Amino acid sequence: MAATNRKIGEIRIPVPWGHVAAKTWGEPDDQLVLCVHGVMDNAGTFDRLIERLPSSFYYVCIDLPGHGKSTHFPPHLPIHTTDYLLVYREVTRHFDDRKFVLIGHSYGGQIGFMYAQIYPNHVKSLIMLDTLTSYPVPTDYFDVYMAERIEDHLRIANNLRSNRPPLYTREEALEKLITGRRSLKPMPTESAEALLTRAIEPAGDLYKFTTDQRLKNFINPLRDYSIDLPGHGRSSHFPPHLPVHTFNYIFVYKIIHRHFGRKLTILGHSYGGQIGFLFAQLYPECVAKLAMFDTISLFPVSTRNFKSAVRRAVEAHLELERKLAEGRRPAYTLEEALEKTWRGRSYAPISKEAAEALVERAVEPAGDGLYRFTLDQRVKNVINPLRDVRNILTVMKLNPVTCPVLIVLGTESTAQQILFSPLIQELKKRRNVRIKFAEGNHDVHNDKPELVAPHVLKFLALQSNKL
């Protein structure tokens, strides 16, 4: 039975970038009920509902990061649905992985549904309020959707740098909540009042909304210069604490294009070529030519392995955060660092000469004649778009790369050639694509550049209409 005199409290759940704020109802020893709101709302959305629910449960109504009284996510990067999966996992760890009932409204329910797929042993039951699943992105709309998200993020980031947030009286802020919903009908005043307390903070005699503006644009599960991608070499790392997503690197490619202001010719090895191919799908007007070294596509996630793949990524990130918080980075002599680079490759050892070319940008002095690697450890756990081969093939057909493309594959790098056989067959049909082979493994461009250079020289010299 419902009770109006139950204990109401506020808690803060520590997370690496700050805290997740939550409003609680009831006694902590009772059955845990996690309540999660939708986009642009906050924990207050459940106030009027919980008043009518049984008092024998412990209701924890969180403000998702970027909402209410919770710390925003680290700045500068777009917000991804996977980031919120990480928040759910941080919250459940805080409660010692107790089984919980999950009540989710709108986007909160969508993430909850995905979490229940990935961690079925954590969720006792799931209540979804006016939602089913994350909105799908049709394959024939993929390029438009992703380009719009990237451009909107750049616009929002620019606005945040140049503008102060608008200020309102309390009455004006309440009116904005009432009339500013995405739904067709204005929100009732009582409902808006429940949200307002957690949605604004004082700014002198006026108020400003605490909502992270990036939430208007979150992303659902998409001369010669050599660049160090963020987290590699001499480039700055991405902001801390969140996983690294492939779409973050698409954002980097777009910033580079904007910096130079002209069409790019992209030479990309492995993951760099995979991002280049995706960038050329999304921004065909930005890419003049694309050369890919021993790579074909981002590695797929089969529908059968969806749960294990996402769960493994979330847990690996949490474990990595723990290690980074507890330990110092190891230091090596220059010879040891060279040996580690030389023999520690994922696919096969590279030549000493190839390793020397990498080590120069891969280490920094750590005192006493020792060195440490500058690599952002999160890049060992990059989260790719959750697509299987069938989806990748469909998107490739509907959103083809239209610029000239050269793909050079190592003869010994056979695993991906088998995995991506349908994609290779499709690419061979394209008049703008050339596929060549060079004797060697995944790093053939660095191990045996004399075998790869002739293909690249010929490709760069060709006029586009002669390919």
Catalytic residues: 106
d(CA 46, CA 39): 14
What is the DSSP code (8-state) at residue 73? P
Smallest CA-to-CA distance from 188 within 167, 208, 174, 201 is with 174
* DSSP reduced 3-state for 266: strand
- Do β-strands 31-36 and 100-105 pair in parallel, antiparallel, or remain unpaired? parallel
DSSP H or E segment with residue 80: none
Residue 418: C-alpha distances to residues 414, 421, 423, 426 (Å)? 6, 5, 10, 14
Query: In sequence order, what DSSP letters do the residues of 406-425 get, joined into one string?
Result: EEEEETT--HHHHHTHHHHH
d(CA 46, CA 26): 14
Give the ranges where 261-294 is alpha helix by DSSP (H): 271-282
Sheet strands side by side (includes 18-25):
8-15, 18-25, 57-62, 31-36, 100-105, 123-129
